[in-house]
Structure 1
Amino acid sequence: MRDIQLVLERWSGWAVDNTAIGWSPIAAGFKGLLPPTSKSRLSCCDNDGAIIDTAVGMLGKAGRKDELDLVKLHYIFKVSKSTIARHAKCSEGKIRNRLMIAETFIDACIIMTGAKLEMDDWVHKSEIKKVA
């Protein structure tokens, strides 16, 4: 089972320079809050990036623009969930829930295509075995 948060972290490093979805350089209402982009971010290969980028883009096609904006803010622009919640004037729990829905949707899109990501070996959730 892949850890979609690690997948999206690596994708965000790739997406800063390569995304086809057309992210704006400054998210609406967050000017001055966004840290400068850094080349030291973890990234993924172009094949993985294109697959994940397509899955993220499906959020918009499915009418989930709010979740798409959350993914952009949190993963691409590195805005914390609490900052997003303060700006949206809602609880951080609500933001976490909506982001979890978006992550699950993206993971489901990747699974439904049957795509095997090259990074799958590094982003699997580890299982903890119960001892005695």
Structure 2
Amino acid sequence: MRDMYEVLSRWGVWARDNKGVGYSSIAAGFKRLMPQQSSGKQACSDNDGLMIDGCIAKLLKFKPEEHELVMRHHLYGQSIRSIARGRKCSDGTVRKMMQTAEGFVGGCLAMLDVKMDMDI
């Protein structure tokens, strides 16, 4: 069983690092030739990032509120408590919605039935 919070955290670092580059997935192997911006957190591989990105896109289609939470927390680094304050609700409510999003993405990855590089 995967730790979906860790999976989404690594995806967030990967997505921040690849934002605006515009390379196709074929040229993604050349990413290591560019200077790295160290955030102190570990990113996932390009293959894993693309798979998770597809699941995040499905999350937007079926659960847009949860998608917004994932983007705010994992991509932009906003705290759960800060998100809750902005929504004028308890952080427990936001955590439950985040767990729903994590379960959705985990279910999508399970349906794909692929071995991820971070599983090794």
Count of residues in correspondence between the two structures: 104
Check if 1:84 corresponds to 2:80: no
The one-letter code sitting in structure 1 at the alignment partner of 2:48 is: D
Using the TM superposition, name which of 101-110 and 112-121 deviates more: 112-121
- Tell me, in whole angstroms, the C-alpha distance in 1 between the residues paired with 2:47 and 2:39: 19
Instruction: Determine the C-alpha separation between the residues in 2 that align with 1:60 and 1:74.
Output: 15
Structure with the higher helix share, 1 or 2: 2
1:55 touches 1:106 (CA, 8 Å); kept in 2? Answer: yes
Q: Structure 2 CA distance, aligned partners of 1:87 and 1:61?
A: 23
Q: Specify the code of the residue in structure 2 equivalent to 1:60.
A: L
The normalised TM-score by structure 2 is 0.80
* Partner residue, 1:27: none
Matches within 5 A, 1:1-132: 1-18=1-18, 39-62=39-62, 64-121=63-120
Offset of residue 18 of structure 1: 2.6
Structure 2: tracts of 5 or more residues without a match: 21-36
* Shift, 1:19, TM fit: 5.8
Which one-letter code corresponds to 1:89 in the other structure? K
Distance (whole Å) between structure 2 residues aligned to residue 19 and residue 49 of structure 1: 12
The Cα RMSD (Å) is 1.7
Give the TM-score taking structure 1 as reference length.
0.73
| Residue type of the alignment partner of 2:69 | L
Identity of aligned residues (%): 40
Give the distance between the partners of 2:116 and 2:2, measured in 1 at CA: 10
In structure 2, the residue corresponding to 1:55 is in which secondary structure? helix
Measure the CA separation in 2 of the matches of 1:19 and 1:52.
15
Structure 1 residues 20-56: Cα deviation after superposition (integer angstroms, max 9, x where no partner): 9xxxxxxxxxxxxxxxx85433101100000011111
- Is the contact made by 1:19 and 1:53 (CA closer than 8 Å) also made in structure 2? no
Equivalent residue letter for 1:67:
E
Gaps of 5+ in 1: 21-36, 122-132
Q: Counterpart of 1:17 in 2: which secondary structure?
A: helix
